[in-house]
Structure 1
């Protein structure tokens, strides 16, 4: 049970009176102390968002929390987040707002009057740590929504309703170009045939702002149901909004399949009911159909955990089947040629364990960067390849690495 020191009392999250005490601490401008570790002071600040209060860790303090704590995060530089924090992602602890800088426009100009302006999402060329690419934005929101976090009690309990709720909540404290991100973000609600007319009406209301402002660009996050032929190209059908296809002309479809060939192959090869998530900037045309400008896709397991290659899917699946507690590392803007911690196991005692995919062939740049990451203090390190075990000692004992390629520092 997560415990805190609020004003003059030690309390558990969810205990009667806890929310009222946090609200009082907010009014008195007093910090709340996380008690996941008793040997150091770990203060949290309180943000007031949409009528509620949220306990947030101070920037840079995530690794100081105990691995089992809700506020724990592995060192940022073990994933792609380290490249963008403080530049493309800026937290203001005074008001609890996170400012995002996007590397793609949110309004149409003369050069973006047609959907042919779709561009390939190549973060190593298109964007740097100064601005989030479309993929980077999707990865950031997925992580902020804690859809990258997993523990065995979640098994069978995640569905699109939960995913949507978490994404929308994650967007609440974010602003982009001075406007709330939530006003730009469209995540379709779960489709139910018996309620289809009411759902269509609510979707129309959410998209009304895009129709009323022709230059306005919105952002979709949805699950791809299918990619099908259309009269002059192809159409992407989004699950939960089948009545609103996203059209691609022939050239756009060709570039889509070329750019995202690996992601499509992973999606189609997943026999465990995984999904392909799409993030896209779009506007509403005069016809009432959505016009896509830029997009990115991300395969996820049936537990909604992202992955980027077959070996990583195998690693995630193995960790879930072994009932491990972990956080999935996200690449954000970082190029594929650079290593990240694919998983951080949080059930390995006093220190979490970062797990990296091992390469079969020598790649000097990758190997050098991986060696540097594995020098990080305060975290145990393990390299993994298919066939290796993840039988690392659980919380309460000293981590023991038994995988054949393990390295501890």
Structure 2
């Protein structure tokens, strides 16, 4: 999805001035824009975004000591207040990205994200750093302070930066293997782990004779020469009993340009065990995304060291349950705009909505699906209801009790769309 840069408004001493997107970015205005930022740096001026978002969209002006240049930055957790199409928009504060400690994900002034991975991309180093949590990358059940990003978190980050967790009606017909993989590559080009640009070691499943196939082959050779591990993202091939039982390699579709992903039986079985929702969806015929960390290829083969899975809809929207799939399909059928908050590596007891509607009178309206009836789950349900009622008000969020009323026809109607809120 193409982002929009809106005007920036500066209010100081009762005087308001507006600066267009062109003035902020065009080379001919560069010195003038730097002069504006220098003038207002460190004073009491109010600087805010001109996008139609709701809430506080103020900016701060920062100075890079190494270059002496000024730049604009969001205030912490304010990204959610910007309009979803704004370049300053971020869903980090309503996703598992907030579970990381300071320094795990850092944003540079040019938009580059520096991440501290739990896994080393250098083949001569141990795979895990500093500690291993399990070969199949299970989601955490305890602990809220994540000091490193695991493989599941990296997949969430790529999906979020590529805007693949967001859907607008205008996107219909535009998400297919080639376009999705192009957006993932673009997202990876802005992510660095240590001294490695992620796009240099990222292989993505490709169709025959495609640009992506050629790119994969070049990266295979470069990684082998530089002794770097690879990150591979692909869709699992259609389910069969034989494929689930395993034949010592991960079965993937759109495999052109990829090496054979050799995997030990124990790692494969453990990974499926740690992803029961994804395994069941795979058997039902759904698309399952696999991300794997592998050694540098030797010939046309490489050994998988770690892997994680993600269940996605026909629109490539991540899903955590079959009930979510029903809601996501209905939202798309009704031409709604919505977002799926990603869990990253957050603990399972952290509260994140299943979806957020983006086209109501507010930027984000949380949506929850309650699908179980155990005592523990009902307690959790009550806690969530209290949380949402206190934060958003009883009319400020939507839910479906899919356990008590499992029929899709019994699903409550969605909140109405606001005027001029979607695309």
Select which of 165, 169, 177 maps to 2:182.
Answer: 165
User: CA–CA distance in 1 between the matches of 2:154 and 2:342?
Assistant: 11
The CA deviation string for residues 157-184 of structure 1, in whole angstroms up to 9 with x for no partner, is 1112221121122122221113322222
Deviates more, 1:338-347 or 1:303-312: 338-347
Equivalent residues of 2:207, 2:213 under 8 A apart: no
- Tell me, yes or no, if structure 1 residue 327 matches structure 2 residue 339: yes
Aligned partners of 1:44 and 1:219: how far apart in 2? Answer: 36
* Root mean square deviation, CA, Å: 3.9
Query: Which consecutive unaligned segments of at least 5 residues does structure 2 have?
Result: 10-16, 38-46, 63-70, 403-409
Alignment partner of 2:390: what SS?
coil
Alignment of 1:27-176 (within 5 A): 28-29=33-34, 34-37=49-52, 42-43=58-59, 59-66=76-83, 69=86, 71-74=88-91, 76-84=92-100, 86-93=102-109, 95-109=110-124, 119-124=135-140, 128-176=145-193
Residue matched to 1:236? 250
SS in 2 for 1:284: coil
Aligned-partner Cα distance in 2 for 1:158–1:217? 29
User: Which residue is 1:347 aligned to?
Assistant: 359
In structure 1, the gaps of 5 or more residues are: 47-53, 399-409
Displacement, 1:229? 5.4
Alignment of 1:200-211 (within 5 A): 201-211=214-224
Corresponding residue number in structure 2 for 1:213 = 226
Distance across 1 between alignment mates of 2:7 and 2:336: 29
Q: Deviations over 1:244-265 (max 9, x none)?
A: 3212233233323322332021
Output the CA distance in 2 between the equivalents of 1:142 and 1:324.
Answer: 20
Label 1:162 to 1:58 Cα distance change in 2 as closer, same or farther (>3 A).
farther
**SS class of match (1:235):** coil
C-alpha contact (below 8 Å) 2:57/2:79 kept by paired residues: no
How big is the shift at 1:41? 6.0
Q: What is the aligned partner in structure 2 of residue 254 from structure 1?
A: 269
Counterpart in the other structure of 2:41:
none
TM-score normalised according to structure 1 size: 0.77
Contact 2:137 2:271 (8 Å CA) reproduced = no
Structure 1 SS opposite 2:236: strand
| C-alpha contact 2:294 2:302 (8 A) present in aligned 1 | yes
2:303 matches 1:291: yes
**Counterpart pick for 2:201 among 184, 187, 202:** 184
* Contact 1:67-1:349 within 8 A present in 2 as well: no
Deviation at 1:186, TM superposition (A): 2.0
Match of 1:49 in 2: none
Number of aligned positions between the proteins: 373
Q: Distance in 2 between matches of 1:315 and 1:158?
A: 19
Q: 1:205 to 1:338 in 2, by over 3 A?
A: same
- CA 285–169 in structure 1, closer or farther in 2 if over 3 Å, else same: closer
Question: 1:118–1:218: structure 2 CA closer, same or farther, 3 Å change rule?
Answer: farther
- Aligned residue number for residue 396 of structure 1: 419
Q: For residues 357 and 225 of structure 1, what CA distance do their matches in structure 2 show?
A: 29
- Structure 1 pair 2–78 and aligned structure 2 pair: CA distance change class (3 A): closer
Q: Is the 8 A contact 1:312 1:342 kept in 2?
A: yes
Residue 280 of structure 1 aligns to a residue whose secondary structure is strand
2:119, 2:127 within 8 Å by CA — same for their partners in 1?
A: no
Partners of 2:49 and 2:59 within 8 A in 1: yes
Rounded to whole Å, the distance in 2 between the matches of 1:264 and 1:276 is 8
What TM-score do you get using the length of structure 2 for normalisation? 0.75
Higher strand share: 1
Pairwise CA distance, 1:285: 4.5
C-alpha separation between the residues in 1 aligned to 2:344 and 2:126? 26
Contact 2:117 2:149 in 1 (8 A): yes
C-alpha distance in structure 2 between counterparts of 1:145 and 1:19, whole Å: 27
Hey, what's the Cα distance between the residues in 2 that align with 1:231 and 1:327? 35
